[in-house]
Amino acid sequence: MPDSPNAGARARNASRGRYRFREYHVTTVPDPLALPTFEAVCVTGEKHNCGATSGTLHTSDELIRWIAGHCAQSGHELYEQTVRALVRAEPGAWQ
């Protein structure tokens, strides 16, 4: 049997390949009918976090008041703040 013309070539790795993925572009727009919600968790503590939570509040002023009150009572100064808002997806085009 004659030698292959690619006898000196490296073997092709079957798992290697080139894949192209299309990107789908979406923009998000805040829903004007939905109000954002705010929440804070006290994460002050050396061995473990305090864990006190504000619960769901509807304005940033309410959240600031809760943080100020908890800080005044406990002396804790570090909080994790979460803001949630509903957004509407507006699909773009495939690229």
Q: 95 or 40, which is more confident?
A: 40
Q: What sign does the CA torsion over 69, 57, 31, 90 have?
A: positive
Q: What is the pTM of this model?
A: 0.63
Q: Which two tokens stand for residue 87?
A: 């957004």
Q: To the nearest whole number, what is the mean pLDDT of the chain?
A: 83
Span 8-14, average pLDDT: 58
- Angle 76-77-81 from CA coordinates, rounded to 5°: 110
Answer whether 40's CB lies under 8 Å from 67's CB: yes
Q: How confident is the model at residue 85 (pLDDT cuts 50, 70, 90)?
A: very high
pLDDT given for residue 2 in this prediction? 54
pLDDT given for residue 29 in this prediction? 86
Q: 91 or 19, which is more confident?
A: 91
Beta strands, E only, the chain:
24-30, 37-42, 79-84, 87-94
Least confident residue range of 14-18, 26-30, 74-78: 14-18
